[in-house]
């Protein structure tokens, strides 16, 4: 099964307004998404909640075993 079509071609990396970004004015109130070219865009509360920024479940990197577990949990 080819999984590549299910993933974005240019994935964004998300940044949360946490203790290490509190003073960074480039990071929006609910966080920001960074495109591969480095451009930031603010995310709204709904998007931040949907991707897990507000409850700290968002992760930028998943190891193979973690990815399999994550995908199985998404099927429930």
pLDDT digits 0-9 by tens, 27-76: 999 999 999 999 999 999 999 999 999 998 888 876 788 888 888 888 87
- The torsion defined by the Cα of 41, 27, 47 and 5, in degrees rounded to 10, comes to 50
pLDDT band at 17 (very low <50, low <70, confident <90, very high): confident
Domain boundaries, the chain: 4-74
Q: How far apart are the C-alpha atoms of 36 and 47, rounded to whole Å?
A: 19
């Amino acid at each position: 099964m080819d999984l590549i079509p299910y993933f974005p071609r240019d994935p964004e990396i998300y940044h949360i307004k946490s203790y290490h970004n509190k003073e960074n004015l480039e990071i929006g109130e609910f966080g920001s998404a960074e495109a591969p070219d480095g451009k930031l865009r603010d995310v709204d509360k709904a998007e931040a909640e949907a991707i897990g920024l507000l409850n700290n479940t968002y992760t930028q990197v998943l190891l193979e075993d973690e990815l399999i577990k994550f995908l199985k949990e998404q099927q429930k």
